[in-house]
Structure 1
Amino acid sequence: MASILFRVGRFCFRHKWWIIAAWLAALIAAASMVQAFSPKFAKDFSLPGTDAGVATEQMQDYFPQVMTQQENASTSVLIQADDGLSHHTEQIDALVADLKTLPEVSDPTSIANPVAVAEAQPQLAPSVLGDDGRVGLIQVDQNINMMDLTVDNKKELTDILKGDRGDGLQVQATGSLMQVMAPGGSAELIGFAVAFIVMIVAFGALIAAFIPLVTGLLGVGLTIMLFTLGAEFLSINEAAISIITMLGIAVSIDYALFIVSRYRSELQRGGTQADAAGRAVGTAGSAVIFAGLTVIIAVVALGVVGIPMITQMGAGAGLAVAVAVLAALTFIPALLGAFGRFAFLPRIPWIKHADPSAGGETNGVRFGRGIVRRPIPVIIGGLVLLALAAIPMSKLELGLSMESEDEAAAMDLMAEGFGEGVNGPLFAVLHSDDGDVSGAADAAVKEIAALGDVTNPQALTWVGNGTTDPANPNVGADSALIMVTPESAPASQQTHDLMENIRGIAPDIEAQGAELHVGGQTAIMSDLSAKLDTALIPYLAVVVGLAFLIMIGVFRSLWVPLIGTVGFIFSVLGAFGVTVAVFQEGWLGIISHTQPILSFLPIMLIGLVFGLAMDYQVFLVTRMREEYMHGMSAKDAIIAGYRHGSRVVTSAALIMISVFAAFILSPDTTAKMIGFALAIAVFFDAFIIRMMVVPAVLSLLGDRAWRLPKWLDRLVINFDIEGGAIKNRGLEAVPAGDGDGDGGQPVPVGSR
């Protein structure tokens, strides 16, 4: 492999303008096709193979008007006054008038002063007034698909709320309009800015620091265009774009950083620039391929979960990593060829040890010697620290709360006046192939009303889909819909239990000739959580198993992949513990309203961090193996690995952490939680496990760390990842004018 990649790197360096033009042409072509086709992302969320999925399909078939209402914008405006709402009639009337001015209101007459509604229709009083008349509910429905709402729509509402609150009247809102988020971009810009600073320090030169950034922008841009183009032919959810952007930026910059750093090191050894580029791609490029492969396996394997949106996120992330690997192997050497001898200029004179090949003691070498000298305290200290960080995980609660932090105040008022379950109804759907569902529906209403945790059970009723009498759709209906409002919050265990109890009466209803399924957003979220829990073990088996086999081939060792995998378990448990402490228990004050940990976070965090962990394992440990295979002792090889790799791995980890941590600034709690969890997990894994614990264990093992059993050694392909076949390629005497153009003669790094 090293020999093939050597030729690829040298070819791209020599034919730089053709390679650069080909990448730019691919980007322009993809963008042009997106512009021409104008593909649209899917707005639906399907959950095949679940009871909620079946209920959703039946609601679409038999109650399409209800599904339309579910998909359209619906916002609940909560008002509260300690002295009673009846003392604020004029303020409330003004608020009602303002709310009617919102665009495409479905029925302006339904937006009314709750006090007046309760007086005119006492039977509706419990649904619009609560807490002895101190809390009121005004429902605003719009003929706008909730996916089409804009930030401007949200601002219209928030301006109204701000203008009408005061003088003892609280006005808050929750629902579709309040869940609109500003388009991304700021987090990515912050990540790029920090990455640029880190690379200036890593290279000590401005142009070299720009090269990985340009590669990252090109790779992510091309990936997003290709992914968007796929929406023309497949049903793809837009939610996948965020993970593509987040991961694509991080790995593109990391892989480019690794190649450029190795190129600088190879230039110091001599030979032509083209040969140095070839050796860099042949050695570091091999590590990039296998590192990228482990990440691709980790994210694409999310498909075993069986949830289309998560499968799409994994596939999109895998595409982003594949493009990042291809760009690192071809576009980077072409850029290095384009900049030629100016690649590492202008130098930043006050940055020391930017060149890992420079003589003298670097911090990396000192750190490596300390690890090798006292490995046992390092191992114990690192693992104990991660074990302590994992302690809060004992309080882990999983859930899927879709409310944003902007809605927290309204949700508190909702719970105070009407119960926590008002915004999360369950929909029991009944269907009879015999043509009359009335008997089964009556029985279902009776049994559901007898269950606990149901709001206002005496008012529970069913609606049919009969068409013979428009005034009475229950006549001649073959399907029925029962809306059940829980007393508990949508993400609570009590609501989940109620949903399962309703499903538990399905055999009784089936005996009366109808099938029963439970759907709605709350049921979908609950089934999603259950599906994720079920898929976790198979997912781990696929990811860890395949990655372990790849690592055996990369390192030709059983110990190295085993140590790396065990270390990953400690780092991910520590990350979970800290995330629980911050977002569920409220430590550090990052969020003002705590909530359960997202149900899909464990499987996503494990997949992404495992792939990234193996990245750093490959980047650092392959150099140690390379030096060992080239004649160094086991311990000296570890120190040499720190000399050449510690600065790169540290820089790469800091960039990755910065990209993820920037999402903590997002107003969306979900984005905050994902960004924080990924950032802390990368910190634990890169700096404690990969930089400390793994090398410490390798130093204890000595030569045994780099051996395979003889029977296995014969079966494992030798990928030559350490580049033995090309180590000295191009270092022989080079005749003048060998045809390399500006890459034909040896040029010292940073020469002018």
Structure 2
Amino acid sequence: MTLFLHRLGRSAFRRPWLVIGIWALALAALLGAGFGLGGKLQESYAIPGTESQTAIDRLAAVFPETAGAAAQAVVEAPEGASVEDAPAREAIESLAGALRDIDGVAQVLAPFDEYAGDQVSADGRTAYLQIQFDGQAVDLPASAVDDVTATAAIAEDAGLGIAYGGEVFRDTGFGLTVTEVFGVLFAAVVLLITFGSLLSAGMPLASALVGVGVAFGGISIVSAMTTVSSTAPMLAVMIGLAVGIDYALFILSRHRTQLARGQRPEDSAAEAVATAGGAVVFAGITVIIALLGLLVVGIPFLSVMGVAAAATVLVAVLAAITLLPALLGLAGDRLAPRQGGRAWRRANADPDAGRRTMGRRWADLLLKAPAIPVVLVAGILGTAAVPALSLDLNLPSGETEPAGSTQREAYEMIADGFGPGYNGPLIVAVDITQTTEVFEDLDDIAERIRGLDGIAYVGDGLPNPSVDTAIIQVMPETAPDAPETKALVEAIRELAPGIDADLGTPIAVTGYTAVAIDISNRLSDALVPFALIVVGLSVVLLMIVFRSVFVPVKAAVGFLLSAFGAIGATVAVFQWGWFADVLHVEPGPILSFLPILLLAVLFGLAMDYEVFLVSGMREEFVRHGRAREAVRHGFQHAARVVTAAALIMFFVFIAFVPEGSGVIKPIAFALAVGVAFDAFLVRMTLVPAAMALAGRGAWWLPKRLARILPNVDIEGEGLRGHLGAAAWAAGRPAAITIEAGRFGDEAAGIGPIDVEVPEHGLLRLGGEPAARRIVAATLAGRLAPAGGRMQVLGMPLGSDSARVARRTAMADAGADAGGLSVRELVAARVDAAGPWYRLAPPRREVDAWIARAAEASGAPIDPDAAVASLGAIARAAVLAAAALAEHPGLLVLDVGEAPPRTGRYDDALERMLSRLVPAGTALVLAAGRFDPHDGAAFGRPMRVVELDAAPRKELAR
């Protein structure tokens, strides 16, 4: 991956306007399509498989007039008046009539109707009308909701106050306020301080904003096709800004440091994308995996949020490794720190001499007594996590809506007039298909429910027209999000087995409040398993990256401390009400999906900081083996950029708290606090102290495990080796160069071999078939070299074998052709060399290559003949022509064992190949033995290597 990123960064640097143009086109196309399709954000808290959702689905089928979205029109008479006074009563009845005439409204139950329930308050000042729509909230057109609110004039003209409540009136609009803009400005200030350059500070912002715009356009398109909640784009924007700026910051910081040390801008950009960009890709993948892990919870709206946020992170990663290096290409060497300036001195300073940086002083302080900061951090975060023990989860209700909104006013009017429980009615669905005493049984069920604690009102049972299902409305005494209401729902459900046994009438509890409780319960149950999955994933990923057992275990423990500390702080503020006035917070239950969402997002960010801090420590330890010095130097090099990244994330997240929507506010607060805890307490304090305590043991990994785990080389050690090999290969003007080359494995090694084949030359390999094939496959890039240095066509073998393989074609006359005909063999190679979208190789091209093979061999070749039936020269000509159809820079041809009368055969073979192989294509020709020719018949310089001319470990060169 490192090599791929190096080439990607260099390519983007060289073609900046092409890359920028592609991003601009994508941005315009996605935003234009998103706005043009007119998608809208909708709240849907459906959760398949729960009792409440199953009951809703059943009601939709057999009792459609009760299964749609519900709402209330709440009216209030002036002080000293009553809604039962004649003018007010007439206005309410007119209001009910107007509501019934609206398209999309299934029925309206006014307070003075025959079957009305307890819809007038005890003091007579407040009443409400129950509105039932003919579909769920996500299916209602905006015009239906607007028409409902337009009826307010009827009540207002009669001197009544009116407000509308219910999920259909919840604000699902997307909008950014000035405080979110301040978050971006704070990030810009941090970037300016970090780099000391306006040009440098602007690049991460530009990259992040373009990425967020592209992601938002994609979400807008999806919202026109499926249900997307208003939280999804806000969460995507928040996370996209934070990680987009941070990812670009890491790469740009590495680039400027390398420029300060005298590296060429192009080389520096490519190396920064390969090294820091590799860490960015790793960090982004961890965030994406964690967010996609929300799919396993099985809650649709949460899955949509996870996928939207994951897609935004993916776009941020792509922008950092493509758009940013394109911007670096436009800037050229203007980003280099001024010689003698602070940034230049910091990049070129000797860490053991001169004035110590703040990061160095902090590391020295921690390492004086590393056990103390470990205990302190664990104590602080453990204390912060204590409030999490009283975590109370629920979905948002009217109480959490912004002050002044119609839903908030309706909620308060009902709570004041009837009690808070009337804002969360429960619907008990009753299956009455197995009873003949319908009304008697419904009365019995209602009476049993009335006997429960916490009941404010129980309505009469109402059967549907087909008399197979009935509903009973239940009003709790407590608010929809109160723990007592959850207990009441469970108490009603506990009555179900007895009712079914006695009356044969199964019951189920549903309604918005019951759905919210079921979702909260499902999420509470999933929280611990999800946390264990995330922790297990972090251990595995970090073990692969750092080749250590201690590092991932320590990282996982630190992540759990910061995550649950953030949850505890959120409970203290949003549930207990600490500093609620300062943050414009309405205390209440915590958003049910907040903890699991926090774990998913914070996990990726924590691993991000861990990688950038500890990778420098590992690089130092590998270099000199001194554990404490590695911690000190690695921390010093990474502290500044990690601090800047954490501050940027904190400011971006915290900016969504003061004026953010009711749903996004606690999420933003939890992420801001989690980032602060994890970056400054865990990564910048606990990690270096714990690493110092562990000493050399921090880098221990069992040998058996080391062989199993892949080596991802995130520090770029392999890249540096490749760059050195590439520089060596580029300095060799030859088709093939082998210096002390070894082939095969340790048990049956071939070599050392030294040989150099001039450009467009010929290398003749002689020896046993197995040895020839090992060397030929290695030179063709199919096998890795066992040792020494080798280059083919200017590319080093080993690190660049894949590119060599793409420029090389192989053919083996001694191998079994599998019964293929000449035409089938040539067609297969022509097809492999063609574009991916071509359905079949052109017959004309296939025939042309067969004709060239026949002309070169000096004898006709039947296209339908089996390859195995051809003579030696004809078979070699067909195999060579088929391989040349791939247009290689090097042809590797093994003609097998020489037949009798070798001299005549060699002469014919040389004539055939000299006619067939283009002069610009180098050639490796392998055979069992050769007559001692000088290559003159080929018209190209020749080198000969006899692989079996000496014992294996002492081969002749």
Q: Same fold (TM over 0.5)?
A: yes
Corresponding residue of 2:644: 651
Amino acid at match of 1:718: N
Q: Which amino acid aligns with 2:678?
A: D
How far is the alpha carbon of 1:185 from its aligned partner?
1.4
Stretch deviating more after TM superposition (583-592 or 612-621)? 583-592
CA distance in 2, matches of 1:29, 1:648: 34
Superposed, 1:347-362 pairs within 5 Å as 352-353=342-343, 356-359=346-349, 360-362=355-357
Higher relative contact order (CA 8 A, sep 6+): 1
Matched with 1:642 is: 635
Q: Residue 309 of structure 1 is aligned with which of 301, 318, 321?
A: 301
The reply on whether 1:505 has 2:503 as its aligned counterpart is no
What pairs with 1:14-413 in structure 2 (closer than 5 Å)?
14-34=14-34, 37-39=37-39, 44-70=44-70, 74-78=72-76, 81=79, 126-130=118-122, 132-133=123-124, 135-139=125-129, 174-175=165-166, 179-180=170-171, 183-186=174-177, 187-231=179-223, 236-343=228-335, 352-353=342-343, 356-359=346-349, 360-403=355-398, 404-406=401-403, 411-413=411-413
- Contact 1:6 1:281 (C-alpha < 8 Å) held by counterparts: yes
CA contact (8 A) 2:174 2:234 kept: no
Letter paired with 1:523: A
From 564, 568, 572, the counterpart of 1:581: 572
The AA in structure 1 aligned to 2:453 is: G
Per-residue CA distance 1:389-427 (angstroms, 9 max, x = gap)? 233334433333422142667645533431221111111
In the alignment, structure 1 residue 488 sits paired with structure 2 residue 478: yes
Q: Deviations over 1:702-739 (max 9, x none)?
A: 2221231222111111111111123487699999xx9x
Q: Mean Cα displacement is larger for which, 282-291 or 491-500?
A: 491-500
- Paired with 1:635 and 1:605, the residues of 2 have a C-alpha distance of 33
SS at match of 2:473: strand
> 613, 617, 620: which one pairs with 1:627?
620
Question: Partners in 2 of 1:447 and 1:41 — Cα distance?
Answer: 41
Cα distance change of structure 1 residues 480 and 174 upon mapping to structure 2, 3 Å threshold: closer
Cα pair distance change 1:232/1:92, threshold 3 Å: closer
Distance in 2, Cα, partners of 1:354 & 1:91: 78
Unaligned runs of 5+ in 1: 467-475, 739-752
Which is worse superposed, 399-408 or 706-715? 399-408
Deviations 1:542-561 (A, max 9, x none): 22212210110111111111
Say which is worse superposed, 137-146 or 394-403, in terms of deviation. 137-146
- Aligned partner letter, 1:449: R
Output the CA distance in 1 between the equivalents of 2:449 and 2:675. 47
TM-align CA RMSD = 4.1
Change (3 A) 1:275 1:528: same
Aligned to 1:695: 688
Q: Say yes or no: does 1:559 pair with 2:550.
A: yes
Q: Which amino acid aligns with 1:569?
A: L
Q: CA deviation at 1:672?
A: 1.9
Query: 1:645/1:160 Cα in 2 relative to 1: closer, same or farther (>3 Å)?
Result: farther
Question: What corresponds to 2:460 in structure 1?
Answer: 461
Name whichever of 52-61 and 665-674 sits farther off: 665-674
Aligned partner (choices 606, 609, 613) of residue 613 of structure 1: 606
| Whole-angstrom distance in 1 between the partners of 2:408 and 2:68 | 26
Distance 1:7 1:714 in 2: 29
Q: Which residue of 1 aligns with 2:820?
A: none
Q: How does 1:471-550 map to 2 (within 5 A)?
A: 476-511=466-501, 512-550=503-541
Shift in Å, 1:12? 1.8
**One-letter identity of the residue aligned with 2:593:** F
Deviation at 1:450, TM superposition (A): 3.3
Measured after TM superposition, the shift of residue 47 of structure 1 is 0.8
Moved more, 225-234 or 212-221: 225-234
SS at match of 1:485: strand
Cα separation, 1, equivalents of 2:693 and 2:131: 67
**1:705 paired residue among 698, 702, 705:** 698
> More helix per residue: 1 or 2?
1
2:783 is aligned to none
What are the ranges of 5 or more consecutive residues in structure 2 without an aligned counterpart? 350-354, 732-957
Cα distance change, pair 218–441 in 1 and its aligned pair in 2 (3 A): same
Letter in 1 for 2:324: I
- Conservation of the 8 A alpha-carbon contact between 2:428 and 2:473: yes
Percent identical: 37
Q: Does 1:569 align with 2:570?
A: no
Answer whether contact 1:111 1:140 (CA < 8 A) is retained.
yes
* Structure with more strand by fraction: 2
Assess, with a 3 A threshold, how the Cα gap between structure 1 residues 91 and 37 changes in structure 2: closer, same or farther: closer
Q: For residues 333 and 152 of structure 2, what CA distance do their matches in structure 1 show?
A: 57
Does the CA contact (< 8 Å) of 1:78 and 1:171 recur in 2? yes
**Structure 1 residue 531 displacement after superposition:** 0.5
Aligned equivalents of 2:222, 2:161: Cα separation in 1: 46
Answer yes or no: is the 8 Å Cα contact 2:155–2:161 preserved in 1.
no
8 Å CA contact 1:275–1:729 kept in 2: the answer is no
Alignment of 1:430-445 (within 5 A): 430-431=430-431, 438=438, 441-445=442-446
Is 1:102–1:156's contact at 8 Å kept on the other side of the alignment?
no
Alpha-carbon spacing, 1:247–1:581, altered in 2? closer, same or farther (3 Å): same
Kept in 1: contact 2:649–2:675 (CA 8 A): yes
Which structure has the bigger radius of gyration? 2
- 8 A Cα contact 2:574 2:585, kept in partner: no
Compute the TM-score of the two structures, normalised by the length of structure 1: 0.84
Moved more, 95-104 or 199-208: 95-104
**Cα gap change, 1:437 to 1:619, in 2 (>3 Å):** farther
The answer on whether the counterparts of 2:83 and 2:127 sit within 8 Å (CA) in structure 1 is no
Query: Structure 1 residues 260, 172: CA separation in 2 closer, same or farther (over 3 Å shift)?
Result: same
- Whether the 8 Å CA contact 2:108–2:132 is kept in 1: the answer is no
The residue aligned with 2:678 is: 685
Are the counterparts in 1 of residues 397 and 480 from structure 2 also a CA contact under 8 Å?
no
After TM superposition, give the deviation of residue 102 of structure 1 in Å.
10
**C-alpha contact 1:111 1:139 (8 A) present in aligned 2:** yes
CA distance in 1, matches of 2:584, 2:310: 31
1:8-39 per-residue CA deviation (whole Å, 9 max, x = no partner) reads 22222122222222222333343454456555
Q: Following the alignment from structure 1 to structure 2, what is the Cα–Cα distance between the partners of residues 508 and 639?
A: 68
- 1:61–1:227: structure 2 CA closer, same or farther, 3 Å change rule? same
8 A Cα contact 1:199 1:651, kept in partner: yes
Q: Which position in structure 1 is the counterpart of 2:930?
A: none
- Which position in structure 2 is the counterpart of 1:748? none
Contact 2:420 2:480 in 1 (8 A): yes
CA spacing shift, 1:176–1:39, aligned 2, 3 Å:
closer
Distance in 2 between the 1:516 and 1:388 partners? 44
